Amino acid sequence: MKTTHNLIIAEKPSVARAIASVLGVRNRQDGSYEGNGYIISWCIGHLLGLAEPQDYDSKYVKWRYEDLPIAPGTWKYTAATKTKKQLKILASLLKNPSVGTIINACDAGREGELIFRLVYEQCKCKKPIQRLWISSMEEAAIAEGFRNLRPGTDYDRLYQAALCRQQADWLIGMNYSRLFSILYNAALRVGRVQTPTLAMVVAREEAISKFVKEAYYIVELTGAGFTAEREKLKDKAMAEAICAACNGKIATIKSIKKKDKSIPPQKLHDLTTLQREANRLFGFTASQTLNAAQNLYEKKLITYPRTDSRFLTDDMASGIPSLVRGVATVLPFTVLDEDIAKIKPGQVINNKKVTDHHAIIPTPTTAKANISSLPMDEKNLLMLVCTRLISAVSEKHIFDETIVTVECEGEIFTAKGKVILQNGWKTYEEALVVSIGRTKRGGDKPLPKLYEGQQYTAETSVREGFTQPPKHFTEDLLLSAMEHAGAEDMPNEMERKGLGTPATRASIIEVLVKSGFLIREAKLLLPTEKGVNLIKVLPEKVKSPLLTAEWEHNLKLIERGEQSSSEFMIAINHFVAEMVKTHHTAPDEYKTLFPPETPKKGGKGRKVNKDYKPIGEPIALCPRCGGNVSEAPKGFFCGNRECQFAFFKDSRFFSAKKIELTKEIAKTLITEGRIYMEGLHSEKKGTNYNATILLDDKGTGYPGYQMDFSAVAPKV
């Protein structure tokens, strides 16, 4: 049979729909679109995963030391239960004799390559592959991508790196989790990246607990309209003596030094900096930011989010002025035309610092979009991306710093003053902060007019301060620590320094929380007793950020063809075997760290939500953990008993508005993140009103709600 179709495989149905729209493919089939010489289908994330140990040999059902290490000779894969139907559809299409070329349109990155290739290989397909590699879901970008399809072989090394990452994680996770669970008779989850991450949090908390604050004393000298300070003293008596000696005496200004300083604009966002900023300003978890960014990408409002680059390529420079002009119209503050005329695109252009994808920026579609209709988290995130683009191409922040040296009774005091000469890029960053109801940070106050040799009568005082412990990890600080972990110990030429990648760090943190090793308290990430004890019993190599960072670097070498995948996997297998060989007994002092958990009614040692009594079919998938959310007598609850996601029917939020929380409302809130409602009751005014209710889920505790009065009713 003559081949008449190209088969396009996207990563998600939404991406397949966007591609079908661009290519004019209208005919919807079961699990695909067809027309104009194309068949367009999709994966649903990872359709295939590595098999469990017992799938290789039934003896692995029991966890025994003598069966370790488990090292498959030939790797096996199993299909995800929920998506078997789509896998069968893809297998049928790949084998369809009318299909000639396969176009890989999965996300343009390491994991996207893996998702496609595993299906392709599992189906034993030999047809030629072409690769669609795009950084935006806009129609123009998709069309341009299809005009510049590249041979699939160009990405063979990327696939090999993805396989190595997946197999290394399996070998270390399966073997180490079993090894240390056996040694300590407890369910202990150990991972290649998550364990070093946990170790950093535990080490930080240990440093905080051991910290002993020390008092220090600063003598302040006031007069002539400003205050100068002496260097810190640990001796209170000495500080008080200096204070007494100088009080009421003549102080002389010995020198006034002025220096013009400038701070260049911050770089564009990569995923990690976007996650950090969203956590700092909005309290978003890394996972929430990634999910919102992915939604914005699929809505064609921002470029590909899973990037580690903060620059753009040369060919993008000419389009930046019009892009800035467009996105400026959607910001919650004014950007003047004269400021736009001064933008400097060259500040964000650097081909050498762009890896697989350029930095995250808004697309031209943003200027034409109805931003008010977005869920609150997506709207806030889009504002961060738009603001950063404008500030990144703006003028420097320039200020005049003055340092005044004062002498009094032989003691030297100094004062600093700051006068802003050009606010530059900070104008926009500060305007965004103010627009969301935050107070911008104060700076140094300007000094009065002074001159060298000036004398005045001094008034003195002593201010007591205390040294501060290290800061607890927030998601912002932990992401930064993961990004730079091991950097100080690695050679400068090693490109990849850190734990995980921008695309995986969010899931690593979530795994640690869901496994009970970390907990969230407000914005803080804190280790549990179980997490502290796990790090206590693990050998240094297993929890070392340096070793994992080296492995990440080696994966980049595989991508570039500078290291073979077999060499990498031999090293991983050797490392696992040595660890099993050298750790065959548990030290006596650690054997009691993990006492058996006391089973509770409804589960084995787990805290059970007493209101969880599911009836009927699940109404939706939990937005936090992917579990099933079902209806119960008192509300709607996630079936994962370690997850606190729940909607209560007697919620004060809904009862005050005289609204019954129905299954339909709960389902819409979970799946869409918002629901437009009419006839909401106002207790204050006694009248009814219309508004959009937004799901406000911080990723911990019970979710809340927000009201959006700007959104209009959906079109019917």
Range 49-77 burial, b when 16+ CB lie within 10 A, else e: ebeebeebeeebeeeeeeebbbebeeeee
Of the candidates 47, 45, 26, which has an alpha carbon nearest to the alpha carbon of residue 35? 26
Does residue 185 lie in a domain region? yes
What is the pLDDT, as a whole number, of residue 714? Answer: 41
Instruction: Indicate if the pLDDT at residue 612 is higher than 50.
Output: no
List the CATH number of the domain containing 312: 1.10.290.10
Given 362, 395, 428, which residue is the final one in a domain? 395
Read off the pLDDT of residues 572-586 as tens digits, 9 standing for 90 and up: 999 999 999 999 888
Same domain, 12 and 142: yes
Distance from C-alpha of 315 to C-alpha of 351, rounded to nearest angstrom: 9
Read off the pLDDT of residues 240-251 as tens digits, 9 standing for 90 and up: 999 999 999 999
Q: At 460, is the secondary structure helix, strand, or coil?
A: strand
- Return the number of other C-beta atoms located less than 10 Å from residue 540's C-beta: 9
Does residue 333 lie in a domain region? yes
Same domain, 199 and 222: no
Q: What percent of the chain has pLDDT over 90?
A: 58
Given 377, 395, 413, which residue is the final one in a domain? 395
Same domain, 46 and 125: yes
Same domain, 19 and 143: yes
What is the pLDDT, as a whole number, of residue 354? Answer: 85
Does residue 552 lie in a domain region? yes
Read off the pLDDT of residues 249-293 as tens digits, 9 standing for 90 and up: 999 999 999 999 999 999 999 999 999 999 999 989 999 999 999
Read off φ and ψ for residue 449, nearest 5 degrees. Answer: -70, 120
Instruction: Indicate if the pLDDT at residue 14 is higher than 70.
Output: yes
Tell me, yes or no, if 304 is annotated catalytic.
Answer: yes
Same domain, 116 and 144: yes
Catalytic residue among 120, 217, 297, 304: 304
Instruction: Indicate if the pLDDT at residue 469 is higher than 90.
Output: yes
* Residue 428, both tokens: 């926009």
Computed over every residue of the chain, the mean pLDDT equals 87
Does residue 14 lie in a domain region? yes
Does residue 20 lie in a domain region? yes
pLDDT band at 10 (very low <50, low <70, confident <90, very high): very high
What is the pLDDT, as a whole number, of residue 548? Answer: 83
Same domain, 584 and 663: no
Within 43-153, residue ranges assigned H as helices are 84-95, 110-122, 139-147
What is the pLDDT, as a whole number, of residue 646? Answer: 85
Distance from C-alpha of 223 to C-alpha of 228, rounded to nearest angstrom: 9
Of the candidates 306, 269, 264, which has an alpha carbon nearest to the alpha carbon of residue 112? 306
Q: At 91, is the secondary structure helix, strand, or coil?
A: helix
* Residue 117, both tokens: 């290739």
Residues 6+ apart with CB under 8 A from 47: 79, 80, 83, 86, 87, 90, 115, 118, 119
What is the pLDDT, as a whole number, of residue 137? Answer: 87
Same domain, 22 and 136: yes
pLDDT band at 614 (very low <50, low <70, confident <90, very high): very low
What is the pLDDT, as a whole number, of residue 488? Answer: 55
Distance from C-alpha of 32 to C-alpha of 38, rounded to nearest angstrom: 10
Read off the pLDDT of residues 215-239 as tens digits, 9 standing for 90 and up: 999 999 999 999 999 999 999 999 9
Same domain, 198 and 238: no
Instruction: Indicate if the pLDDT at residue 615 is higher than 50.
Output: no
Distance from C-alpha of 133 to C-alpha of 228, rounded to nearest angstrom: 59
Same domain, 140 and 175: no
Q: Which of 290-294, 503-507, 593-597, 692-696 comes out lowest in average pLDDT?
A: 593-597
In the chain, the number of structural domains is 5
C-beta separation of 32 from 99 below 8 A: no
Does residue 156 lie in a domain region? no
Instruction: Indicate if the pLDDT at residue 713 is higher than 60.
Output: no
Question: What letter does residue 192 receive in the DSSP assignment?
Answer: T
* Residue 704, both tokens: 């809340």
Question: What letter does residue 619 receive in the DSSP assignment?
Answer: E
Read off the pLDDT of residues 495-519 as tens digits, 9 standing for 90 and up: 445 788 888 899 899 989 988 899 9
Instruction: Indicate if the pLDDT at residue 98 is higher than 90.
Output: yes
Does residue 686 lie in a domain region? yes
List the CATH number of the domain containing 504: 1.10.460.10
Same domain, 424 and 527: no
Strand ranges in 12-73 using DSSP code E only, listed in sequence order: 27-29, 32-35, 38-42, 48-50
Strand ranges in 299-458 using DSSP code E only, listed in sequence order: 397-408, 411-422, 455-457
Q: Is the pTM of this model over 0.85?
A: no
| Half-sphere exposure of residue 350: CA atoms within 13 angstroms, side-chain side | 12
What is the pLDDT, as a whole number, of residue 628? Answer: 74
Q: At 303, is the secondary structure helix, strand, or coil?
A: coil
What is the domain range of residue 544?
164-209+472-590
Instruction: Indicate if the pLDDT at residue 608 is higher than 50.
Output: no
Same domain, 477 and 371: no
Given 395, 426, 456, which residue is the final one in a domain? 395
List the CATH number of the domain containing 74: 3.40.50.140
Same domain, 33 and 68: yes
Mean pLDDT of 155-181: 94
pLDDT band at 656 (very low <50, low <70, confident <90, very high): confident
Distance from C-alpha of 621 to C-alpha of 656, rounded to nearest angstrom: 27
What is the pLDDT, as a whole number, of residue 602? Answer: 40
Of the candidates 304, 328, 333, 329, which has an alpha carbon nearest to the alpha carbon of residue 389? 328
Read off the pLDDT of residues 441-466 as tens digits, 9 standing for 90 and up: 666 678 999 999 999 999 999 999 99
Does residue 108 lie in a domain region? yes
